[in-house]
């Protein structure tokens, strides 16, 4: 496929995935210098990677959400999450992707996408499948979010001092005992 073909294929897939309005606005706002970047992204990411037959579009969106979360690319994550909803991925599936990210990327890296995803809606507006969405998706009828809200309202019980393990107790006894303060002899060594 020539560069021209890659660009044409890529621009169509990019518009379908992220929305014509968003993509065209990005292209229109680009000067000659930035158009070089736009061309590379459109040809390689969209014309080459996204047009390959090995994965369906839904799977590619899921992978991208996970990677963008891991990399901390919050602005891109919002754009791709909206595209994912338009491609048929549900809020519940996005939640599962973010749970995986918490486990493998760590809590701080996945916390922000969780907060951002609460703003997404599973319904698309009539004028655009990826128009900005409003309102929390995790409502009182969602048992998981209801439990989380209840946990936030309930103060955590005071933690008692953890019990000493037997090894810690023995070590404390040895270190603090008068016998431990004398010089060790050869017979004290454990072989």
Ordered by start, the domain boundaries in the chain are 1-54, 56-152
> Mind listing the pLDDT tens digit for each residue in 170-190?
444 444 444 544 555 555 455
The arithmetic mean of pLDDT across residues 90-98, rounded, is: 93
According to the model, what pLDDT value does residue 120 have? Answer: 66
Residue 24, pLDDT above cutoff 60: yes
pLDDT for res 189:
52
C-alpha count within 13 angstroms, C-beta hemisphere, residue 19: 21
Q: Say if residue 142's pLDDT is above 70.
A: no
Its CATH architecture, for the domain 56-152, is: Up-down Bundle (1.20)
CA dist 47 and 11 (Å) reads 7
């Amino acid at each position: 496929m020539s560069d021209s073909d890659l660009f044409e294929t890529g621009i169509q897939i990019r518009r379908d995935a992220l929305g014509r309005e968003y993509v065209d606005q990005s292209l229109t706002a680009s000067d000659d210098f930035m158009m070089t970047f736009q061309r590379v992204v459109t040809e390689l990411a969209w014309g080459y990677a996204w047009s390959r037959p090995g994965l369906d579009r839904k799977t590619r969106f899921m992978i991208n959400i996970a990677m963008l979360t891991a990399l901390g690319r919050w602005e891109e994550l919002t754009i791709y999450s909206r595209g994912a909803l338009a491609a048929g991925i549900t809020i519940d599936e996005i939640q599962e992707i973010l749970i995986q990210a918490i486990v493998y990327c760590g809590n701080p890296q996945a916390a922000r996408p969780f907060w951002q995803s609460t703003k997404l809606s599973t319904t698309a507006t009539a004028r655009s499948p990826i128009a900005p969405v409003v309102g929390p998706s995790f409502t009182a009828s969602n048992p998981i979010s209801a439990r989380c809200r209840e946990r936030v309202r309930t103060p955590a019980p005071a933690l008692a001092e953890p019990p000493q393990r037997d090894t810690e107790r023995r070590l404390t006894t040895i270190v603090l005992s008068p016998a431990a303060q004398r010089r060790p002899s050869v017979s004290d060594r454990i072989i």
